[in-house]
Amino acid sequence: MKILVIEDEKNLRETIVDFLTGEKYVVESVFDYNSALEKVCVYDYDCILLDIMLPDGNGLSILQELKKMHKKDSVIIISAKDSIDDKVLGLDLGADDYLAKPFHLAELNARIKSIIRRKQSDGDTSITLENINFDQDKRKVFVYDKELVLNRKEFDILYYFITNPNRVIYKTTLAESVWGDNIDQSDNLDFIYSQVKNLRRKLKEAGAIPTIKAVYGFGYKLCTNNDE
């Protein structure tokens, strides 16, 4: 799951990024309004942590821009401005939650998980696709009730596929979602081929019904029996 941290306070920003990275999220961060606006215009995120008071603009304007673009990114406002007016305005503009500074990182993580579960899985932490059961919170995958052992990136790749079944996934889209936008600095995407190849082999050996197929010139597709 991909998180964007928009926070101008360096120490807090780095602390949040380090913590969420340790919790297995793909995390990106910016410290000013213009950089934040560029990010949300170009990339999609599962959750955005948004500070209101930025050095070159108001974080609430980011919410307005997201609304104009009809984007579905979840947003948690994190701000020392703990006034009722700010909370109400932020929620009216589309924010999903409001967390006043200072806060415990464990609470922040709980809020993120709650929002993502609510939006992506209707409150359920597991996803079932034919004979694959995928538990997001426990980071476990089962095929025919037998656990499938995956490394971290294989798990993240399968999560992206399983939430987008029977759709062609471009290599660049997959890379940005699993590795973050630092992927722009890579010369090629050959490493994705290796990860997907290993994941495909493990699914096949476990007897998974959905199969990952290569779409020449584009990327990959997780195919189910319902795919026509």
For residue 171, CA distances in Å to 73, 112, 150, 211 come to 21, 27, 20, 17
Residue 92 sits in the same domain as residue 150: no
Domain that holds residue 134: 126-223
Residue 111 sits in the same domain as residue 141: no
In a domain, 228, yes or no: no
Q: How many domains would you assign to the chain?
A: 2
Tokens of 74: 């979840």
Residue ending a domain, among 77, 105, 120, is 120
Which tens digits make up the pLDDT trace of 125-146? Answer: 678 899 999 887 788 999 998 9
Query: pLDDT tier at 123 (50, 70, 90 boundaries)?
Result: low
Across 40-44, average pLDDT: 90
Q: CA-CA distance, 131 to 207, in Å (whole number)? A: 9
pLDDT of residue 227: 61
Query: pLDDT tier at 30 (50, 70, 90 boundaries)?
Result: very high
In a domain, 202, yes or no: yes
Residue 115 sits in the same domain as residue 134: no
Residue ending a domain, among 78, 97, 120, is 120
pLDDT of residue 182: 59
Axis-axis angle for helices 59-68, 33-42 (nearest 10) = 20
Residue ending a domain, among 103, 120, 137, is 120
Q: CA-CA distance, 93 to 87, in Å (whole number)? A: 10
Is the pLDDT at 183 greater than 70? The verdict is no
Residue 8 sits in the same domain as residue 116: yes
Which tens digits make up the pLDDT trace of 81-94? Answer: 666 677 788 888 88
